A and B are shown apart, each in its own frame.
Chain A
């Protein structure tokens, strides 16, 4: 499956903080064919460090999106866009501020999850899709799926928030803050003004190392590394984390790290009302999935969402999948998720009489 990243530029985007960003680029990829009624569109939202390249070679959810896969591109038109604040084609702190002709850096306005969703909405409008069959995503992508369902209930038939929460806990904020502090403690960070010189690679790598620990579980780390040595004075786990940390530096911008983790931390769906009240009169179907060993986004957080949905008699399916992979499970546990997603999407499409082509 071949798809290259396209970019669309919008005149402006109003942000929650009151600033209007103008213009705004949005990088996205699509897979499959939009049917003539434009009713088979599925938006897949990426997690914190993902990008628009969701499927195909090297795609971050390549095992879930494609012909005959969970998000079956023979049936559905799958869209994935790099989030606002990102560094993979969509406007973010590394983009040029038209007022100064230099990079935004830390002068980039504060962004939120709902800002990201508002930009995605512009993209969906741009593609001529009035109503999405589904919005799906894990982790931060799940926050966006929730936000879509609450902000545009009539334009989303189904939402699949996976391994996610409607607001970060103190523990989740704490880990993000360690990452941000690691970046800011790197002398190369220079208050965010490093775009014409050496980036804060050491800080960003440490931030990523901490992140990777939180994505695994005690069990998965024990299996993967144990106490095995790579050489006489280095454990496998040390070498792995360092490798992942420094690989990350090649593809991610430190300021984007700061802005996007901040957006996740300040996200709180309940700031506009109690969770049950937000789900009042929502016809969107939900498939909520959590994983038993995910201690970063524990299943109680998914259950809070599910309880609120059930208290308003919303149509919700929920399962806590058995997995040893921790938070990474949503990217790794393909077989179970494929069965769930396939059945859920099929019944959603059937009930809405969504045609194939």
Chain B
């Protein structure tokens, strides 16, 4: 059984498939540790997580996953260089205060970084903005502007440009629309983008 069937999150399915068995994995903003539990069970990884919400941390620890309760941006600072094979940031990049610092931190402590984020360039966002003239509210970004956890909005092309500027090497790029993978015009068609990358 794949991850997506278990948890219904397509980005988990993709991330699950990117991680090599027996590796050391850190999941930033790991919630209740579902992805980590799956990776532990199915890929025999050494799983660690960081999560801010106490109730989620409790559930994760109760499931046997070693999760640290803390802010992920400051948590990155404690870990030694290259402590992990993969550092995962799933659907949280757009919520961080200093995304570039977070990404650089991930590449310092991990050999590979994996980010998954909702693509603000998706056609539905563009249409919503164009036709309503208001802050877009779509199934992908369901929040009102005043109570959204998202504070940075980025597109597939934005991330590619940043990676180019920082000389990061993108090893895999996977684009999803629902649970379907898309390849054509990802900046327009992808709802979620997953990047596996390393420092150059």
Interface residues of A (CB under 8 A from B): 285, 287, 303, 306-307, 310-313, 315-322, 336, 339-340, 342-344, 346-347, 350
Contacts and interface: CB of A to CB of B under 8 A. Distances in A.
Contact of A310 (B64, B65, B68): B68
19 contacts: A307-B78, A311-B78, A313-B80, A315-B46, A317-B60, A318-B67, A318-B68, A318-B69, A318-B70, A319-B54, A320-B69, A322-B54, A339-B58, A339-B62, A340-B62, A343-B62, A343-B63, A344-B64, A350-B64
Interface in B153-174: none
Contacts of A285: 66
A320 B48 contact: no
Interface string B68-90: 11100001001110010000000
Nearest to B66: A317
Most B-side CB within 10 Å, residue of A285, A312, A344, A347: A347
Interface of B: 46, 48, 54, 57-58, 60-70, 75, 78-80, 83
B192 to A, nearest CB: 29
Nearest to B49: A317
A65 B62 CA distance: 17
A291 to B, nearest CB: 11
B57 A319 contact: yes
Contacts of B60: 317
Nearest to B46: A315
B60 to A, nearest CB: 8
Contact of A343 (B61, B75, B79, B83): B61
Contact of B64 (A312, A320, A336, A347): A347
> Can you list the 8 inter-chain pairs with the closest CB atoms, starting with the nearest?
A347-B64, A343-B62, A339-B62, A310-B78, A317-B66, A313-B83, A317-B61, A319-B57
A289 to B, nearest CB: 9
Given A307-B78, A312-B80, A313-B79, A319 B61 contact: yes
Nearest to B37: A347
A330 to B, nearest CB: 15
Most A-side CB within 10 Å, residue of B46, B54, B61, B78: B61
Contact of B54 (A315, A321, A346, A347): A321
Nearest to A343: B62
Contacts of A287: 61
